[in-house]
Amino acid sequence: MWKKIGYEWEVNQRDNEGNTLCDSCMVTNENGCVCAACGCKYPEQMRGGSGTLCINCEEEYDI
């Protein structure tokens, strides 16, 4: 089933590949985690040691 997510310019929720995600998909669950810094959803293996940031943001912010 397709989910309507509104206009492209209204949506600011994306995965790490730039794909637009709906509100129900944009949560931390068994399919991935949402980074607190960049707001993108990443696969679980890309979660950093902090538990709240992705490995890319941890590198960028030197955490």
Domains of the chain: which residue ranges? 7-63
**β-bridge mates for residue 34, sequence order:** 41
Give the whole-angstrom CA distance, residue 36 versus residue 61. Answer: 12
Name the pTM for this structure: 0.72
State the alpha helices, DSSP H only, in 10-50. none
Task: Note the pLDDT of residue 58.
Answer: 95
Task: Note the pLDDT of residue 20.
Answer: 81
Task: Note the pLDDT of residue 22.
Answer: 79
Burial class (CB in 10 A: 0-12, 13-18, 19+), 18: exposed
Per-residue pLDDT of the chain (63 residues; tens, 9 = 90+): 445 555 554 556 888 888 888 778 888 999 899 999 998 999 999 999 998 999 999 999 887
